[in-house]
Copies of this chain bind each other. A is one copy, B any other.
Amino acid sequence: MTSVAARTAPADKHEERRRELADSALRTLGELGYARASLREIANNSEFSHGVVHYYFKDKLELIVFCVRQYKTTCVTRYDGVVAESTRPDELVEAFADKLVETIVEEAPMHRLWYDLRSQSMFEEKLREAVLQIDKSLEDMIWRVVSKYAELAGAEPALSPEVAYGLLDGLFQQALLGYLCGKEDVTDGIRDQVRGLMPMLLAEATA
C-alpha cells in the first residue's frame, strides 16, 4: 500500500506456502501412493510439522487434489516443445517417443500417483471433478501432438481426440507398469510401439 509495497502481497505468500507444501507432499505421495501417504509422513518429508497442513488446507483430500493439480499443470506442456520444433513427421515421432521414455524413466513416481488417483476417483466422488479436468487437459496435450503430426504428414487424424488419448494412455500405462516391475527393454518397446502406432492414427487428407 505504501511507496515500496510488500515484496509479495499477503495473499500470495499464503498461496506460495501452499505450493511449497504441495511440492514436498508430492515427493511422499509419489513414493507411497494415495492411501499410504499419511499427513505425518508427508510433513516429515517436508520442513514443517504435521499440524501445519490444516493451517493451509481444509482436508487431506484438498491437499492431495491441490498437489496433483499443481503437478499436472506443469506436466501438460511436456510435449509442446516436440510439437513446436519438429518439421517432419518422422522427426516428430522420434522426438515424441524419446520424450515418452524420458517421462517414464525420470518421473515414474509422479505418474503412478496419477494412475493411483484416477483409480481412486472411481470410488471417491470428491476426486472426480479434479480427475476429469486433468484427464481432459492430458487429452488436449496428446491431441496437439497428433494433429501436428497429421499436419506435417499432410493427412488428417483418423481418430477423435478422446480415442487418440485413450490409446496412447493405455500404452503408456502398460509401459510404466513394465518399467516399475523391472522389465528390460520396456523403453525400447515403447519406442517401437509408438513408431508403429502413430502412422495408424492418420487417414488420407480429406480437404
Contact = CB atoms under 8 A, between A and B. Distances in A.
Copies in the complex: 2
Interface stretch (A61-69, A80-88, A159-167): A159-167
Interface in A30-49: 32-36
Interface string A142-160: 0000000000000000111
A33 B116 CA distance: 11
Chain A binding surface SS class: helix
A32 B123 contact: yes
A180 interface: yes
A126 to B, nearest CB: 12
Contacts of A32: 123
B200 A158 contact: yes
Contact of A36 (B123, B165, B167, B171): B123
A70 interface: no
Contact of A197 (B119, B163, B165, B177): B163
A35 B173 CA distance: 21
